[in-house]
Structure 1
Amino acid sequence: MTDLTGKRVLITGGGSGIGREVARAFADQGDAVTITGRGLDALAETDGGRGMTCLAADVTNEDEVAALFATPFDVVIANAGGGPAGGLKSVTLAQWNATLAVNLTGTFLTFREALRAGMAPGGRLIAMASVAGLKGGATIPAYAAAKHGVIGLVRSVALDVAKRGITCNAICPGFVDTPLAQVAVEAVQNRYGLTRAEAEAQLVADNPMKRMIDVSEVAAAALFLASPGASMINGHALSVTGGEI
């Protein structure tokens, strides 16, 4: 890949948060972007008239993921994810299985089908992992376990595809300012009787910069990993955490 502009880009979980910002960043630089998610209304909102292709798909469904790759993509970003908060004792088996399914199995299926479709040399596979995949988290055991698995998958795939000139990397953000983050802020407020400012300070306490990460900063990392300048970065877990890791 000598020039990213005009390439075909697929982003899963493109209906909100990080996925939405990443999709818009690629579209705004002239790429042909396809976004997937479970709700077409949310995907249309992400598009906002930019001309993206919006496809409803569940990344845990093997057939639905395979159907996304009728033709190959140049850049594939496995972004769909999530998971419940709570200590290990409170996690149900159903929550555990669902968290691993969307974060880890979803990334596996997305990357597998991207390669089966015939990704060309210079292609980019990018997984949206998390700082939790680098250090864990007492109140997010299922999510942290899944993201550790994503990083292990990325490092393994990177070794496999390197000989074809394809790279596979992970982005590991800390606490990002998204609507989901605001839900977490409100939960901390209500639980401990804090002001919004105090709750936000508690949530970003591990970040040396003492602020939430802006979604544009995560999108910038994705644009970089998909660029020609990142052609020798492979199997890397890129920390976007303000120095937390």
Structure 2
Amino acid sequence: MPEIDSAGGLSGRHALVTGGSRGIGAAIASRLAADGARLTLLSRDFVRATETVARLPKSAHAHAIACDITDPAAIADAFADARAQHGAVDILINNAGQAASAPLRRTSDELWHRMLAVNLTGTFLCARTAVADMLTSGRGRVVNIASTAGLRGYPYVIAYTAAKHGVIGLTRAMALELAGTPITVNAVCPGFTDTELFQESVTHVIDSTGRGAEEARAAFVRHNPQGRLIEPAEVADTVAWLCSDAAASITGQSISVSGGEVM
């Protein structure tokens, strides 16, 4: 993978990261800031997002905005606030998401609609809004954080898996539609990643099955041929490369960051 100029390969670019308060989103924000981007973080948890902003370098001029990405009006207001702070959005990282598990017969209508709303509809709404900026400015990068669940099937996460498959389809369709412009659209598909969200999944397995913590953790790790969890910084490195000029010809791709789980 080409190296990125850490001294400012994204200097002057305005990057907006949804779900940027923790985990993969926070790691991506940190990496893009190190590469010179100015940052806007969207999150439902404004306090946590503000704490993340405080840890970013001052050169990023980062700021946080409270936003529910399933609400079109809230997105319009958040993007208007972001533009007022940093100008047009050059880079959109659709990272916000949720992962709730249930077997098919216990997947309620509410859970189904919530998983699609947060993971798929929110990605669509933010992309539709950001692309208008990018078409006007003549440059842009959209990176959708999907999952290996978008490339294969997993049991007991029916709604989440369906939503992430939708994100892959959305990515491909957008990339083709925008191929005649300077905008690229790609997806990054992490395997099980060592975040707070993952720890919540481990806790759910412990509570629902009675397994011990190590056994529950091993049930996830076994999917990775390298026998480990993915680190958030590894996902962030891939995202940063896709945002760089070096990846100008990469579009419509779904890149698995999973230790070989998906080949």
Asked whether the 8 Å contact 1:69–1:117 carries over to 2, the reply is no
SS, match of residue 79 in structure 2? coil
Report the counterpart of residue 159 of structure 2 in structure 1: 142
1:92 and 1:190 mapped to 2: Cα distance? Answer: 20
Identity %: 41
The question of 1:58 aligning with 2:33 is answered: no
Aligned residue number for residue 111 of structure 1: 127
Q: Distance in 2 between matches of 1:174 and 1:4?
A: 27
Indicate if the aligned counterparts of 2:134 and 2:183 stay in contact, CA closer than 8 A: no
Structure-1-length-normalised TM-score: 0.94
Q: Which runs of 4+ in 1 moved over 6 A?
A: none
> 2:55 and 2:209 mapped to 1: Cα distance?
42
TM-score by length of 2: 0.88
**TM-superposed deviation, 1:192:** 4.2
Q: Which residue of 2 aligns with 1:187?
A: 204
Q: Which moved more, 1:19-28 or 1:212-221?
A: 19-28
Q: CA deviation at 1:3?
A: 4.2
Q: Which of 79, 93, 98 is the matching residue for 1:77?
A: 93
Letter in 1 for 2:162: A
C-alpha separation between the residues in 1 aligned to 2:134 and 2:177? Answer: 14
Aligned match of 2:176 in 149, 152, 159? 159
- Kindly indicate whether the alpha-carbon contact (under 8 Å) linking 1:171 and 1:239 is maintained by their aligned counterparts in 2: yes
Contact 1:178 1:215 in 2 (8 A): yes
Alpha-carbon distance between aligned partners in 1 of 2:176 and 2:160, rounded to the nearest angstrom: 25
Matched residues in 2 for 1:138 and 1:223: separation? 31
Q: Cα distance, 1:118 vs. partner?
A: 4.0
Aligned residues of 1:201 and 1:211 also touching (Cα < 8 A): no
Q: Distance in 1 between matches of 2:19 and 2:237?
A: 17
Which piece of structure 1 moves more, 63-72 or 96-105?
63-72
Contact 1:36–1:54, Cα closer than 8 Å, also in 2: yes
Match of 1:47 in 2: 53
Q: 1:28 aligns with which of 34, 58, 61?
A: 34
User: 1:146 is matched by which residue type in structure 2?
Assistant: A
Q: Give yes or no for the alignment of 1:96 onto 2:81.
A: no
Cα distance in structure 1, aligned partners of 2:187 and 2:71:
22
Unaligned runs of 5+ in 1: none
Give the alignment's Cα RMSD to 1 decimal.
1.6
The 1:192–1:100 alpha-carbon spacing in structure 2 relative to 1, beyond 3 Å, is closer
Residues 1:202 and 2:208 aligned together: no
Per-residue deviation, residues 153-208 of structure 1 (Å, max 9, x unmatched): 00000011111111000010010000111122233334444443332211111110
Is structure 2 residue 43 aligned with structure 1 residue 37? yes
Question: Deviation string for 1:88-130 (max 9, x for gaps)?
Answer: 1111101111110111100100000011234433310110100
220-229 or 111-120, which deviates more: 111-120
Instruction: Tell whether the 8 Å contact from 1:34 to 1:54 is kept in structure 2 after alignment.
Output: yes
Q: Is residue 2:239 matched to residue 1:222? A: yes
Structure 1 equivalent of residue 139 of structure 2:
122
One-letter amino acid of the structure 2 residue matched with residue 226 of structure 1: C
Task: Give 2:111's aligned amino acid.
Answer: Q
Q: 1:163 to 1:39 in 2, by over 3 A?
A: same
Distance 1:85 1:6 in 2: 40
Task: State the alpha-carbon separation in 1 of the partners of residues 256 and 17 from structure 2.
Answer: 20
What is the CA-CA distance between 1:85 and the residue it aligns to? 0.4
Distance 2:100 2:202 in 1: 15
Q: 2:21 aligns with which of 12, 15, 21?
A: 15
Contact 2:175/2:186 (8 A) holds in 1: yes
